[in-house]
Amino acid sequence: MTNNARHAKARAAAAAVRTGVSDKLGSLWWSFLLRGALAIALGLFALFWPGQSASILVLAVGLYCIADGLTGLAAALRYPGLREQLVQALIVVGLGAVLLLWPGATLRLLLVLLGAAALLAGAGQVLTALRLPADDPERGMILIIGSAAALVGLAVAIWPGGGVAVISWVIGIAAILLGALLIFVGSRFKRLGGRLDTPVGH
């Protein structure tokens, strides 16, 4: 086999792997859109009902983590090759279970757990973007968005605390930002799936 033939074979194999990865990611758009909608719903609840008791706020965040984790788990089980999504989803479900089963959780713990969930979401997006081909136009944008989500989570986790109203506003703003980022990533992946479904030459 000549060098040119070997190079052509290697390029064909690499292209097949890249297409397979992109096809999986392009089919996950619904997961990101749904998780983004859940985060925005949590954010609106926290913003428009800032006077609720600490127990109601803990319950709302716990339910959000459960719903978000189960959505990610469903997507990860559909595509077992995306292991980082599976691990992230299991951890987020665990965080939600802690909040639901521990009604006496402090507001400080609430911030730490919610921040950890957002941090995991951002890290998951970074890992997902790294699976895209290096020349994919979506890769750089999703890396930036994942990093931004991780920074939002870190900021929430280390927030010094305060009263219920202040923490409600922090959670509301952070959740809406995270939701917007997830929806943006989902729309990008939806377009990626559309490009992969378009026949060559169209």
Which residue type sits at 109?
L
Predicted confidence (pLDDT) per residue in 72-111, tens digit? 888 878 776 666 678 888 888 998 898 888 867 777 888 8
pTM over 0.75: no
d(CA 108, CA 136): 40
Predicted confidence (pLDDT) per residue in 25-61, tens digit? 556 778 889 989 999 999 999 888 766 678 888 888 8
Helices 164-197 and 54-78 meet at what angle, rounded to 10? 20
Predicted confidence (pLDDT) per residue in 103-134, tens digit? 677 778 888 888 888 888 888 878 877 877 77
Q: Residue 43 CB: number of other CB atoms within 10 A?
A: 23
Average pLDDT, the chain: 77
Q: Name the 3-class secondary structure at 69.
A: helix
Tokens found for residue 52: 């609720």
What size, in residues, is the chain? 202
Burial class (CB in 10 A: 0-12, 13-18, 19+), 109: middle
d(CA 164, CA 173): 14
pLDDT at 164: 80
Domain boundaries, the chain: 28-195
CB 106 within 8 A of CB 97: no
